[in-house]
């Protein structure tokens, strides 16, 4: 009986090691993939394993008219942190997993429906820019952990940390959402901006999901 158990354990172990070895194109040397929850299912975030893969969708496009598609600076405000892919993955693995943070796709639904980052939720920027008098905005702020007192002011002391993104460093949807949140009174130290957005994500061949 013991022998059977040991054999089974060894087989399982070797299978796991083999599965990790199969990932030739890792995210970092120590991180082959990351499993996250999306729409009630586990989704594995990893890079496309075909070394010949090229982008052929709208993110392969290099030039868009500016305005409105102008390049944004690296820092949006002094306190809002600009982050990259690894910080985003760390955020998904910690804050989002523990229910202390939310990764927000701030794009309009028609963009979101084409594909998004696993583990994100879509809050289109117009909902946030509509102002706190808008019932939908108020509902969203409450879900994010904000509290409205009877005098109408909002308290975000216990609110989640938010990481926002949109299409890329030429996209203004996440910046408008962040500016709206700051205007409402959301603490800037709880806001993070994944400036590279979907273009940066897809350039690395990372997994996307169609909701």
Partner 1 sequence: MKYLKKLLLFIPLIWVITGCQQSETEQQANKQTEASQQQVAVDENKESASSKLTPLENEQPDQPLSIDEFNDAIYEVVQDSIQDAVENAVEDEVAKEEQQQ
Contact residues toward partner 1 (CB under 8 A) are 37, 39-40, 96-97, 99, 102, 109, 121-124, 126-127, 136, 139-140, 142-143, 147-151, 155
Nearest CA-CA partner of 153 in 162, 164, 141: 141
Q: How far is the CB of 160 from partner 1 (least distance, A)?
A: 9
Q: How far is the CB of 16 from partner 1 (least distance, A)?
A: 25
Token pair recorded at residue 197? 């957005």
CB closer to partner 1, 37 vs 183: 37
Q: How far is the CB of 111 from partner 1 (least distance, A)?
A: 13
Helices (H), 96-167: 109-112, 125-129, 135-143
In contact, 206 and 178? CB cutoff 8 Å: no
CB closer to partner 1, 62 vs 149: 149
Q: How far is the CB of 67 from partner 1 (least distance, A)?
A: 24
In contact, 80 and 195? CB cutoff 8 Å: no
In contact, 159 and 186? CB cutoff 8 Å: yes
In contact, 96 and 119? CB cutoff 8 Å: yes
């Amino acid at each position: 009986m013991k022998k059977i158990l040991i054999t089974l354990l060894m087989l399982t172990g070797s299978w796991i090691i083999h599965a990790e070895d199969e990932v030739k194109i890792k995210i970092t040397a120590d991180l082959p993939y990351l499993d996250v929850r999306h729409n009630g299912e586990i989704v594995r975030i990893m890079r496309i394993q075909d070394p010949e893969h090229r982008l052929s969708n709208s993110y392969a496009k290099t030039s868009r008219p500016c305005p409105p598609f102008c390049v944004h600076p690296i820092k949006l405000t002094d306190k809002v942190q600009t982050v990259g892919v690894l910080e985003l993955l760390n955020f998904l693995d910690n804050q989002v997993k523990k229910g202390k943070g939310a990764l927000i796709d701030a794009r309009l639904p028609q963009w979101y429906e084409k594909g998004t980052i696993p583990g994100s939720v879509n809050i289109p920027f117009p909902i946030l820019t509509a102002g706190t008098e808008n019932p939908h905005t108020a509902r969203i702020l409450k879900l994010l952990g904000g509290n409205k007192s009877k005098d109408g002011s909002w308290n975000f002391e216990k609110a989640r940390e938010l990481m926002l993104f949109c299409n890329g460093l030429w996209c203004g949807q996440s910046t408008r959402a962040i500016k709206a949140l700051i205007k409402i009174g959301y603490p800037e130290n709880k806001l993070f901006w994944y400036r590279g957005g979907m273009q940066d994500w897809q350039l690395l061949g990372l997994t996307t999901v169609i909701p």
